[in-house]
Amino acid sequence: MPDLTPDHELDQLLGFRESLPADAFVLDVMQRVQRERRSRKLILLIFGLVGAGFGAAGALLLSEPIARFFTSLPLTGTMQAVLIAVAAVAFYGWFMNEDISLDT
């Protein structure tokens, strides 16, 4: 048997309102989230640039030994090794029916 006593406070709490009183709270939370996203992007950018700098410095330090290594190799043998490696990758792609697309 349903309760027949009217509960006006419950009706008021469950009733539909056009504007919620918590809009300011939601806006404040969203602003904080945006601020944290910006700081995260800034931190990632700074550390990415530092990492790229270390990578470039390492490449400069290793460029001469790598150049000496490749100039000491026979030209025909190096070219054949590269062609065999490319052919192996192409065969693998064909055999495994890989679909190479540039869409991300």
* Sequence ranges of the domains in the chain: 26-95
To 10 degrees, the CA torsion angle through 42, 46, 47, 50?
170
Locate tokens 């419950």: which residue? 10
pTM higher than 0.75: no
Q: Is the distance from CB of 78 to CB of 70 less than 8 angstroms?
A: yes
pLDDT 10s digits, 16-33: 666 655 677 888 889 999
E strands within the chain?
A: none
In this prediction, the residues of the chain whose per-residue pLDDT falls under 70 are: 1-6, 15-22, 100, 102-104
3-state secondary structure of 98: coil
CA atoms within a 13 Å half-sphere pointing along the CA-CB vector of 99:
3
